Amino acid sequence: MNRHFTIAIKSMNKNRITFYTTILLLISGILGCGTSKKEKREIAVDTAKVYLTNTACADAISVLEDAGRDQKDAKYLQTLASAYACRGGYSALTFYGVNLPKISVTQEQIFGSLTMFSTSGMIDPEDADYNDLLLAINILAYAGDVSAPTVAARAEVFSANEAGDINLQNLYMLFTILGKYLFYYGNSDPSTGTKGGGTAANGNPNGFSNGCFYDYNPSNATLKALIDVARASGTLGSCTSTATGSPKLQALPNANTVKRMCQGVVLLNIFIDILSNTTLPDDSAMDSVGEVKSLFNALCSDGIYSAYVGDLCNMRSQISCETNYATAPESDKLEAYFFIMFETLFN
């Protein structure tokens, strides 16, 4: 009896979603040519939200894209980002209910804890879920058709409430995509969040053996000496003197490596920008992550490697990063950034 009742309820819910979607689409059809672009987007947003309640991600994307993008319509952009994130396997409910509680309360373990998210598994640099989530993040990062994807730039386009909602939605997706990035290139053990500890037995299927993100070999002799000493000190977890880098981050200059390293730089910088300039919810996990901004700023401006990072700590454009840091001596800055950020904050 209970089983049949549950099946009946599920069927009713599905039928209700189909009914509501049909009504919204009929309204859209009836209004037809007499409907303004704004009204079409509003109908599309309402329809997409119904689709998203049933995880019909592709349908939500289709109806939103058909309505035409408006870079200054906050509700439309947030729903569009949600639709692409949905297709990438992201769910706000999963983030809050399953993954947020896993975030460590110590600075040294925050990055490792992100790799323990249920959504962090990734098996290819061009992973479809990763790319969909990256697209969703960029939709919100460039909301308002801003030239620089910063909190300050978006604040000039949207109301305080709209900008705040955009920033927080993007922050939660950034947590998730950084978990994927760190898991993959850091060869993480997803059960403990340990860098360099990934094996098939503990749930990391990639078969990598790297203990560092990259095989650091900058052209600047002083920078190389600093990195070699740090690796020999044993303070960077698995990134020791004998550890190798990710096989998917081959030695620079290499177009794929530049693209992938720049993704890490840009994602982390956008993440820090939001952390530094947005009011966060009153949550203990958020409080601990908020402290990362102080460490980040210290590493960028006052640390012993800061002179070698250049302006990469302010780089938030993938295109500009790939264009400007592809070859030595500028590529040394990519190595310095990766070493002080990813090896130091994830050990």
Query: By 3-state DSSP, what share of the chain in percent is helix, strand and coil, each rounded to 5?
Result: 65, 0, 35
131-176: per-residue pLDDT in tens? 999 999 999 999 999 999 999 999 999 999 999 999 999 999 999 9
Long-range contacts of 34-41 (CB under 8 A, 24+ apart): 37/67, 37/68, 37/70, 38/70, 38/73, 40/67, 40/68, 41/67, 41/68, 41/70, 41/73, 41/76
Predicted local distance difference test score (pLDDT) of residue 344: 86
Distance CA 314, CA 306 (A): 12
β-partners of residue 189 are: 194
User: pLDDT confidence of 10, banded at 50, 70, 90?
Assistant: very low
Long-range contacts of 90-93 (CB under 8 A, 24+ apart): 90/119, 90/129, 90/133, 90/136, 90/173, 90/176, 92/172
Predicted local distance difference test score (pLDDT) of residue 12: 41
In 10 A of CB 328, how many CB atoms?
15
- The residue among 226 and 6 whose pLDDT is bigger is 226
Predicted local distance difference test score (pLDDT) of residue 2: 40
Q: In this structure, what DSSP letter does residue 341 have?
A: I
What does the chain come to in residues?
347
User: pLDDT confidence of 281, banded at 50, 70, 90?
Assistant: confident
Sign of CA dihedral 90, 93, 98, 104: positive
65-87: per-residue pLDDT in tens? 999 999 999 999 999 999 999 99
Distance CA 320, CA 148 (A): 11
Predicted local distance difference test score (pLDDT) of residue 282: 75
Predicted local distance difference test score (pLDDT) of residue 77: 98
Predicted local distance difference test score (pLDDT) of residue 31: 45
Distance CA 335, CA 136 (A): 27
This prediction has a pTM of 0.90
Across 78-96, b (16+ Cβ under 10 Å) vs e yields bbbbbbbbbbbbbbeeebe
Distance CA 84, CA 132 (A): 6
Distance CA 322, CA 344 (A): 23
Category of 145 on φ-ψ map: left (φ > 0), alpha (ψ -120 to 50) or beta: left
Helix, strand, or coil (residue 187): coil
291-311: per-residue pLDDT in tens? 777 888 888 888 889 899 989
User: Of 167, 188, 170, 57, which is closest to residue 120 (Cα–Cα)?
Assistant: 188
Distance spanning both ends of the chain, measured CA to CA: 53
Distance CA 147, CA 150 (A): 9
What tokens does 337 get? 């950034």
Distance CA 302, CA 310 (A): 12
